Amino acid sequence: MSLPDANAILDLMEAFRRSKVMFAAVSFGVFDRLERGPADAASLLPEADPGAAERLLDACVSLGLLTRKERRYANTPQASAYLCRESEHTLAGYILYSDRVLFPLWSHLEDAVREGSNRWRQTFGFEGDLFSHFFKTPEAQRDFLLGVHGLGKLSSPAVAAAFDLSRFGRLADVGGATGHLAAAVRRRYPRIEAVVFDLPAVVSFARTLQPDRSIEFLSGDFFRDALPAADLYVLGRILHDWGEAEARTLLEKIHAALPAGGGLLLAEKLLAEDHTGPISAQMQSINMLVCTDGRERSLEEYRRLLEGVGFVDVRGKRTGAPLDAVFARKS
C-alpha cells in the first residue's frame, strides 16, 4: 500500500518560515532601501552578519520578492507595490504588526483553544482596554493604521460595488480608520456625503492618509458616544472583533440612529454555512480567537444577528476580494 502524498503536510510544516523571511526583510527595511536602486548584501544590511544577510536576501529571491543579478538585488514589482512603506498600496504596516504582535500571539494558540480567550495578557502582560495596545507608541499606532489602510484598499472597491447604494445621501463609516471604505463608496457614488467616526488617536493620523478631502472625520467611541447622523452606516471589519453581546449592542445603536429605509453595509470575511471554508475566513476566525473576543461568521449568522435587532432584507455577496459584503436595511 502506497503512502498518501505528503506535500500538503510538508508545505504547512514550513509555511511559517516563508512568512518570517518576509517579515524580517520588511523589518530590516530591505525593500525600502532597494527602491533607491539595486544593491549588494553588504550595502543593504550593513548591520547584519554578511553571510546571514545573503541567506535572507537569497530566500527573498526564491520567494519572488527580489531578483538578483551579479550579486546585486532588486525589488520585484510586487515588492515595490506592497512591501515598501512609502508606496500608496503598502502592506508593510500590517506585515510589521503581524511580525511584532500576531506572530507572538499565535504562539499561544493551544492555550487560546483550551481557554477560549485571547492571548494579550499571556503574551505581553497587557492589562486594560484591548485596542489601546495598538496605540501604546506612535510607531505601533502608525504600523497598525498603515496596515489597516493597505489591506482596506484591496477590498473596499469590491465591497462598495457589491450592492446598489445610489439612493443614500450620507454615509457614516463607524470605526472607519483611514476612511478607505468611505472613499471607495464616494468614488462610485460621488453624490454621497461621508463622515468617518473613530477614536481620537485614529482620526488625527487617518486624515494624513486620506486624499479625499471632502470626507469628514469625527472623533468618538462608537460604544459610548452618539453616532453621526446618516442614512447609510458602514462597518468594515468591526463586528468580527466582538462577541455576540457587544455586536448586538452596536447594531441596536445603529438601528436606532437610522431613519426608516436606511441601510447598513458590512465588510467582513464570510464563512461557509457549515464553517468548512474558505480557508482565509477560517484563519481569520482563529486570528480573532488569539487577538479579540470576536470571530468570523457565516451569512446566516449575520442574518440572525441583524434580524434580531430589527434589520430586514439581509443579503450577502462574496466579492472575490479579501473581504465580502453584507447589506441590510431598516424597514
Enumerate the active-site residues: 240
Containing 249, the helix (H) or strand (E) segment is helix 244-257
d(CA 144, CA 83): 15
DSSP state of 272: P
Which positions ≥6 away from 100 have C-beta within 8 Å? 140, 143
Q: Are 102 and 117 in contact (CB under 8 A)?
A: no
Bridge partners for 233 per DSSP: 172, 264
d(CA 42, CA 215): 45
d(CA 140, CA 250): 26
> Residue 245, SS3?
helix
Residue recorded with cell 463622515: 195
Considering all CA atoms of the chain, what is the largest pairwise distance in Å, rounded to the nearest integer?
68
Question: How big is the CA angle at 227 (ends 221 and 230), to the nearest 5 degrees?
Answer: 145
CB burial of 172-186 (b: ≥16 within 10 Å; e: otherwise) equals bbbbbbbbbbbbbbb
Residue recorded with cell 505528503: 6
Whether residue 77 has a cis bond before it, omega within 30° of 0: no
d(CA 239, CA 267): 9
d(CA 31, CA 25): 7
d(CA 155, CA 142): 20
